Every structure is written in structure tokens, then in C-alpha cells.
Chains A and B, each alone.
Chain A
């Protein structure tokens, strides 16, 4: 039995939910189909051991766009806001970063960091405007609004002033390593800033455009880190609630097998279970590769487009390590209250680069880098009383491990990661009661993201703005009538920001009038 909707959204990730909710709010009849048993996509809170829960992928919120929360009237309850960063040193002489302030470094570094942050946030604010707009088309296909956006972008860059404009244009394609080594004396500070620039990417500090990725990270709330109460799943639960309030139907456990194409247009979806749903529009929250190659099928689109999609770089390198602990580990030089903050293991920029080297050749880092949080410290809901969970993003863990991913490979890397952590937290091994490692291969399998890349496509200049996901298809509409993308693979990109979902909804409402 086929039911008819105006729009079907494939995938209830945060962008899919934002898009669905906004379409529902505008009066469209919307159905969201989610493969997994709960909404949220990769932005979920899952129990990984009896009584221990944690955000499965991203664990800190810092990019959620104010435009999104405003449009949907969304209130996110936070377990903790404005997390500081502790860049760990094995000898206990840590560097602490809070907003524009840094301590544990020399006076020159303090001033230099403030200067650096000031400039970066200024550039990031410029970028932010365009993250919340459809990226303009260029050349002969440009519409009036595209020309206006382009002109405004040019004007905004020019308005920075001559010197700052030059700096912006100089820095945007540069690597973060050149900038941090020029500016900072402290190894730990250089390491921590480099780490933030490459977090979640297949890039090292010496890779081009890692300043751009750093700016992207700031282009929400200036990287004001917060921890949602109940983990990331509560953010997507809130989005799902908003969508339902707006009349959207959400069905979970419905894995879409294919997007039905009839007479050269997307006409609905068929699920693994064999159910079909027809609709006027199909909006995919899945990544561009999965959407085009698996759900639509190359034969239903054109060759040039297929080739570009096929070549999207999206090899994930970020793994998630979850540990159930019977108590907090001890870290030399860290006070108990600081367990509410975030810890970074990236002793210097060379260490980070070396960690990346392995990933280029299908190996895991011998000395990985970490972003560590103890979410249960300020959120009782995540672990039994007196117990704790550790949630860590570990890099670099390649999607395509040369020897292939197996339980043995996963166990070996878990051990290596714990050994590395023990250098900073000597009693950690004794405190572990359970662990979970999600490699990019696991993330692909469990959250249906090609390559297990959180951002649905590497965030690099050739996959940014007018070329995200690919040139000629960057305004959410795909070159197949009735098909749209709304996920992180589209402009502006990944992170729990909701910008892509909101931009997509706006593009759909603008060009697809209800008949």
C-alpha cells in the first residue's frame, strides 16, 4: 500500500530533522524515514555497557546555528556550557585554554593567542553569514540572488580593510602548522590549536587549508563548547519533537533501499522491508555518495555528475572510544572540577602530523591524538552513581585499514589507545569496566555514512561552497527532478549545526511551490 506525501526525508539525522521540521512548519506533508531504531542518525546517545551511555559520535555542541534554534524555537538543555580545554602534558604542566585566554604559557604566547583568536573569530564571523545561505552559482547560470550573494561576499571581504583582507586571503588556503609555529612558543598550545583544525578530517596540520577548517569550527559560536544534557541524542530528540509538532510523521526502523525514479524524476522510496511511499519530492539526509550511488543508482543520473560524486573524498579517520569507569582516573596537575572540561592529547604540532602519517598508508597512529570528555561528571543520567564514562575522539584511525578491520584489529587499537591514555592517567586501566571502539568502518555500518566520515565529505576548499558536494549541484537540488540533499555533504558541511538542513529547506520552499 502506497501512501502519498509531499516530501519524504531519507534519514532522521539532525539535518534531516531540521529540514523536515521547517518544511512541516511551512505546511508540507512530510514523512521522515530513519533506518535505525531511534532518531538522530549519528547524533544519538547510546548505552554501550549496562548503565553507561554516551554520545555515539560528536559529543560536544559548538556549531548549532542560532538561525536554526530561532526558526524552530528550540531550547537545548545543557549539562555544562563553556567548557575549557586542558592540553595535557605527561609531566603535569598542562596548558589551559578558555575562550581567548590561555594559561600555562609565556606572556608573549598569551598576547599572541589573544591576537590570533581575535583575527580568527573575525574571519569566522564573515564565513558564518555564508554558511547560513545557499552558496551562489557562478558564471552564466548565476541568478540575481546568486549575484547579490557573490557581491556581498566580495564586499564583506573588502570591508575587512586592506590589511585584514590580505591576511584573510593569505590564510584561507594555508595550513595551520605554518601559522602556529610562526605565532606560538608553547608546544602544547601549538599542538592543541593544530588538533582543533584537523579534528574529524583526513588532514594533518601540514595539509593545505587547515586554517579554513579551523575557521569553520569557529563559525558558529566561536567554538564555545557545550555539553547537552543527556548527550547529543537529546538535541536530536528535541529536533524530532519540533518536527512532530510541525506535523511531520517520523518512522524509525525503516531503512530506505532505494529512491524510486519514474520518468526521470524522484517519485518516492522503497524500504528494505518492501514498503513503498510515493511523494512529490525526496530529500536525502544520507551522504551524497550513498544517495546517488546506492539509493538513486548511477543509471538514473548523468555521467559527469556520477563521476564527480564518485570522486568525493570522504575517508573517515576519526574513531570514538567509550570507556565505562568505576571512578575518575587521576591526572597529575588536574583538579577534580576540571573533569567537566575537555582534555586534548596533542603534545605538539609535529606529534599530530606524525599521527596522521600512518593514516595515509592504511595504518592506525602509533601515537594517536585524543579529545577526551567525562560527560558523566556533570550529567548523572549517563552512568550509575559514583561511576563515570569517558568519551574520546581518537585520531587517526583509517576507514580502510590495510589489514582490514577485524575484532582483533579493533582490540589491538583499543589497547594501544588505552596505553597512550595511561601515560597521562596512570590508573586508568584499573578503572575500566567496559569499552567500545567505533572505527570509521563501524560508523559507516551503524550510521550508514560512506567512508565513516562524520562530515559526509572532507571539508576542503575543493569541496566547499560552490563545490560541495560537487560543482553544479551545490544548491541542494540534485540533477534529478524532485531530488534534494540536506545533509552534511552539502553546503556548508558537517558538525551538529543544522545549517545544511535549514538551507535545504529554504531552497526547497523557494523553488518547489505546492501545486
Chain B
């Protein structure tokens, strides 16, 4: 494909023709070279499809690397902080990778497709770092972003949709498991993963059968409230799930310039992903030291009083304010939780679970600005965490 053939210089996902037919908003943005929809009909409507029926999100722009070779496992174990030897074929792992200073470069999912064959998916591109990490290792890293397209099929009826589509045996797929099906002569990979904190699946296949997959899915989903969704609706769902996003809740360490602007996994509440039992991985020395000496920052989930969204708010230790101890990075009114929620960053040791903090919310009513200091409780669990997310087999809806 040449630049001249790409409208606005943006790549189109193989699902684009179908998405274009549904699109009522004409709001698209760029995601790593691809056109990605903000939404198709209405953000709230699309959001409710994820929580009440099924939303379908186009994952094609997600960066995908195929990692193979005799050293693939050793390579990944050095790259990411968690122990990859525990991830057997047919399993998927959420992981973060750090630089030598223990600062997070990005997070993503690693699919153990077949013995010794992996796919790493992330929001950002990382070829330079992955290549550097391969120096001295026998491993091949191939960017297969354009060769594999994907759809996230998320929501309470998603299991029923896939069953109706004829994916026999999908009921046995456990969370973070992956399996393959024959789809019109092409291999369809289905993983029980997602970014919504709900029951959901991700479907992956080669672009030549993309339209057929879309049609089969939407045919099967007709009676189950299936709906295409864009990034805005997904963004709401992921905040409710308590998931962090690059460039919003943290900055990739390789793009920060000022010291102290990047974050370690410990600071992002991802200590459960760091396995100090591994003798070496990128960032281990620095993280071990941070663990001894204490972190500078802590990522917090906040349950805020009132209903005014706390976008970009400063966070204080006391109601009277004084010196701020941090700031909100993601905020929303959660319709499904009926809660005013936010993700934020505060200076340690503030932000322990149960701490009462205050957020300074500015809000506008008919042009005039007002300010409120709202009490915010630091909570531990994801805001939205329904049992169906974990149930195998998931029940019909």
C-alpha cells in the first residue's frame, strides 16, 4: 500500500468497509497508523452494549509481534517482569516490560500460541526495544500487525453470540485461555481476554476472511444486542475495570525526558506481575532497590463522593488543601456502578487502601466555573468485577 492510496495517510482495517456502513458520527482518530473510530452511534449506547449485551471493538491496530526461536522463552523472561515459564501453550499473560531503571515501557498481553511460539500485543510499537533485547539471543521477532486482524467481542451475551456463531467448545475456554477454530477454511484464534473487565473474547484471524467474520458475528449476534463500539466507549469500560492505559495513566519510559515522569510497575500497582525469584530481567536491580527503599508514587483507584467527574483534578491529603499530593489521570461517572470513580497518582506513602483523600474538582454550569473539594476513598478492587467474568462455562444471557 502506498501513501497515495491511503486516505488521510491512515491505514484502514480490513473491517473498515463494514464499520463505514454503520458509522453515523464520522469521528475517527489515528492509532499507530490506522484509522480507529471514536464511536459509531453514541458513546453511551455503545458503552451499554458492553455492559448489557455485546460490544465489538476493532483490535486490528493493536501492535502484534510474533516471537519464536530456541531462546523465545528466555527472551521473554528477560524482557518482562513476570515469570513466563508458568504460561503454558494455550494461555495468555498480561505483562509489563521495563527499562534498566525499572521504569515501565508498556504493558500488553503475551499469547503462548504453540510450544515456544508467542505473540506479544501492545498499544504502542516497540520494535527498537524488542530488537535491542534480542542482541545475543537466538530469537526472531516479526511485526505481524498487518497480517493479523482482530475483534474484541465483549459483554454478557458475548458467549452466547460465539456459541450461536457455531464455535463449539467455546464454553470450555477459561479466562486467559486461547483456542483455535476452523472458520471457512481459515484458522480463527479465540482468546478469553479483553480490556473491559467483563465477560469477553478476542477473535484473531488473517485479513482475507475479515469481512466474512464480521458478517458471521453480527448475524449470530442479532438477537443478542450486538453493536460495534469505538474507543470512547472502551475507555469508559476500562476505567471501570481499573485497567491502566499508556499515555493516560502512565507515560512509556522511553518517551519521558524529565526524571521522575516515568513509573515503575510497583508504582502502578502491578507488583503482582514482578517476580523477583527470576535471577535476571530488565529492571530487576532497580526494582529490587525500589522495593527496599520504597516507591515515590502510588497509583490509586478512587471512589469519590458526589457526581461531578474529577477530570485532571489535584489530589490532597486534607480537605483544606495545602500542598497537593498527586493528580487524577482517568475519571468518570460509572453508570453501571452508580459511582464517581477515578484513577490517580499520589506520592507515597499516601494512597493506602482505605485512605481518605480529597480531590479538587472544577466544574462548569452555564459558562460559570465552580469548585468542590470532594472526599475520595482509596479502594482496592476493580470498580466493575462481575462473577460472569470468571465463570467457566459462562452462562447464557
* Chain A residues with a Cβ under 8 A of chain B: 139-140, 261-264, 293, 297-307, 310, 472, 479
Q: Are B283 and A302 in contact (CB under 8 A)?
A: yes
Q: Which 4 residue pairs of A and B lie closest in terms of their CB atoms, listed nearest first?
A: A298-B136, A304-B100, A264-B279, A307-B132
- Once bound together, how far apart are the Cα atoms of A277 and B279, in whole Å? 21
Q: Are B99 and A306 in contact (CB under 8 A)?
A: no
* Chain B residues with a Cβ under 8 A of chain A: 71, 74-75, 78-79, 99-101, 129, 132-133, 135-137, 259, 279-285
- Once bound together, how far apart are the Cα atoms of A293 and B282, in whole Å? 16
Other A-B pairs, 5, CB within 8 Å; known A264-B279, A264-B284: A262-B279, A302-B284, A303-B99, A304-B132, A472-B100
Main secondary structure of the interface of A (DSSP, over half): helix
- Sampled A-B contacts (16; CB under 8 Å): A263-B279, A299-B137, A299-B280, A300-B280, A302-B100, A302-B284, A303-B100, A303-B133, A303-B135, A303-B282, A304-B100, A307-B132, A310-B135, A310-B136, A472-B100, A479-B100
Q: Are A305 and B100 in contact (CB under 8 A)?
A: yes
Q: Are B78 and A479 in contact (CB under 8 A)?
A: no
Nearest CB of B to A422, in Å? 46
In the bound complex, residues from chain B placing their C-beta under 8 Å from that of A304 are 99-101, 132, 282
In the bound complex, residues from chain B placing their C-beta under 8 Å from that of A139 are 259
Residue among A300, A303, A306, A307 with max Cβ neighbours from chain B (10 Å):
A303
Q: Are B285 and A306 in contact (CB under 8 A)?
A: no
- Once bound together, how far apart are the Cα atoms of A306 and B129, in whole Å? 11
In the bound complex, residues from chain B placing their C-beta under 8 Å from that of A264 are 279-280, 284
Q: Are A303 and B132 in contact (CB under 8 A)?
A: yes
Nearest CB of A to B155, in Å? 38
Nearest CB of A to B304, in Å? 34
- Once bound together, how far apart are the Cα atoms of A79 and B78, in whole Å? 54
In the bound complex, residues from chain A placing their C-beta under 8 Å from that of B78 are 299, 302-303
In the bound complex, residues from chain A placing their C-beta under 8 Å from that of B133 are 303, 306
In the bound complex, residues from chain A placing their C-beta under 8 Å from that of B135 are 293, 298, 303, 306-307, 310
| Closest residue of B by beta carbon distance from A306 | B135
- Once bound together, how far apart are the Cα atoms of A303 and B282, in whole Å? 6
| Closest residue of A by beta carbon distance from B99 | A304
| Closest residue of A by beta carbon distance from B79 | A303
Q: Are A479 and B137 in contact (CB under 8 A)?
A: no
- Once bound together, how far apart are the Cα atoms of A298 and B279, in whole Å? 13
Residue among A140, A262, A302, A310 with max Cβ neighbours from chain B (10 Å):
A302
- Once bound together, how far apart are the Cα atoms of A140 and B169, in whole Å? 56
- Once bound together, how far apart are the Cα atoms of A310 and B131, in whole Å? 12
Q: Are B279 and A306 in contact (CB under 8 A)?
A: no
| Closest residue of B by beta carbon distance from A300 | B280
- Once bound together, how far apart are the Cα atoms of A298 and B137, in whole Å? 7
In the bound complex, residues from chain A placing their C-beta under 8 Å from that of B132 are 303-304, 306-307, 310
Nearest CB of A to B74, in Å? 6
Nearest CB of B to A421, in Å? 42
| Closest residue of B by beta carbon distance from A303 | B133
| Closest residue of B by beta carbon distance from A301 | B280
In the bound complex, residues from chain A placing their C-beta under 8 Å from that of B280 are 261, 264, 299-302
Nearest CB of A to B147, in Å? 26
